[in-house]
Each structure stands twice: as C-alpha cells, then as structure tokens.
Amino acid sequence: MDIAADAVSLFLDLDGTLIDIAPRPDAVLVPDELHGLLRQLHRRLGGAVAVVSGRPLADLDRFLPRCPVPLVAEHGAVFKLPAGYHFRLAARYAVPPAMAAFVREALAGLDGVILEEKQSCLTVHFRLAPEHQPAVRAVLERALDRWPAYRISEAKMALELRPRGLDKGTAVRRLMRYPPFRGRRPVFIGDDATDEDGIRACILLGGQGLRVPQDFGGGPEAVRRWLWSLASQGAAQPAQYPP
C-alpha cells in the first residue's frame, strides 16, 4: 500500500513509534535525527503533521525542543501550535487534587510502581514491577467509585485514569477541522492501545491507521526510515511501506 505526501495528514505517536520505550518514562533516548525528520516532514507535507502523545507537554517540549509541528499532549488535553498554524485549540481538564492524593497514598507501598501526575490524567507505570498490576488496577477501580467522570485506560505496562471523552481520536478530529490538515486523508501511526482511538478516527474520516508491530515490524527505527522516505519523495511519488 502506498502513501503520497501531497495527499495526507500525518498523526504520530511518540513512545514506541518515533522513539523506543524505556523502563522509566524519564529515561527515553531521543534520536539525534528526529528533529530533522519532523522538520523535513513539515516541509514536505505542507505542515500537515502532528505528534500526538499521552505525555505531558513539559516532556514533549524537553524531548522535542523547537519542534516545527503541533505537539498534542495528554491524549488531546493540551495543544501547542508553532508559528504558522492560524487557529486556536483549547481544552480544559484538571485532575481533582483529592483524586491525585488518594491514588498517591494508595500506591505508596508498591515498590517499583511509578505514578506520573499530569494535568488531565494520572498514569501508573508498573514496567519495573509487573507483579503489582492487579494491585494497581484495584486502586484505580476504587478511585472510579469516587470520581466516575474518569475511566481506566490501558497502555503498555501502565494503567491510566483519564477523563471520559478524552482520547487521541478526539485530538485527530479537532485538528482535521483546520488547514493544513483539512481536506487531506488522515493517517495515524501508533503502537499501543491508547493509539487505537486515533486510528479509528482516521479510518472513519476516510484515512487509515498503521500499527508499528504489524506494519513496521522492526519498531521505531523502521518507522523513522519509512518517514524519511515519505519526507524525501518527489511530487506525486508514493512512499512504499516497509516489507
């Protein structure tokens, strides 16, 4: 299957798609080539590229400084638009302080479990202690009894409390209302369960979704190689999917 750069809007997950997943969220390594790749994609696709991540904006700013494309943080709760994007997007979500305190206290005795507190959601990582997954889920389910406006979302070796209605599909649909995204065929590339909402949104909008394990096999390095081919293609020359 082919993709022509002139015809698509591209939505890219970060962890597990553009960069390799690390044992801790703060231990990832960002390839030196990534900034240049995003800049080249921005030029070739006329700006119709966005990074859509579950991470907080502070992480995205740190990993992708001076990023030329929109950064969508916390599954669509926060948007950062560089110069040249002439529209405004604002979404207001805030984790109730009492909910954060409840989860923080309930997880305190679970060694190796990392609580990542974000503006809109709480993400609990158990990659370093997978045996604690049942206990983590039990804590989050107890939290839902008190804060039913949230739901539990699954990710790789993590569980997240997130507001109902907040997901990457919503972020895709919002961006697709505006140029340079509007009028193009949306394509989402992701690797995790949290990316499925973005993939479904793209399919419903007449586009498609690419899953890193099935469509790229080798992981983020293979994704980056394919994106370079897309960014470097000539006019009307489709990029071939990797074998």
CA-to-CA dists, residue 2 to 7, 58, 142, 160, 236, angstroms:
11, 35, 47, 35, 11
Name residue 150's amino acid: Y
What are the start-end ranges of the E strands in 120-192?
Answer: 122-125, 150-155, 158-163, 185-190
Smallest Cα–Cα separation from 149: which of 89, 95, 73? Answer: 95
**Rounded distance, CA 5 to CA 58, Å?**
30
Instruction: State the burial class of residue 31 (Cβ atoms within 10 Å of its Cβ: 0-12, 13-18, 19+).
Output: middle
**Phi and psi, residue 145, nearest 5°:** -60, -30
**Rounded distance, CA 243 to CA 223, Å?**
12
Q: What share of the chain is helix, strand, coil (3-state, %, to 5)?
A: 40, 20, 40
Catalytic hit among 6, 13, 20, 61:
13
Active site residue 20: no
Distance in Å from the first CA to the final CA of the chain: 11
Active centre residues (catalytic): 13
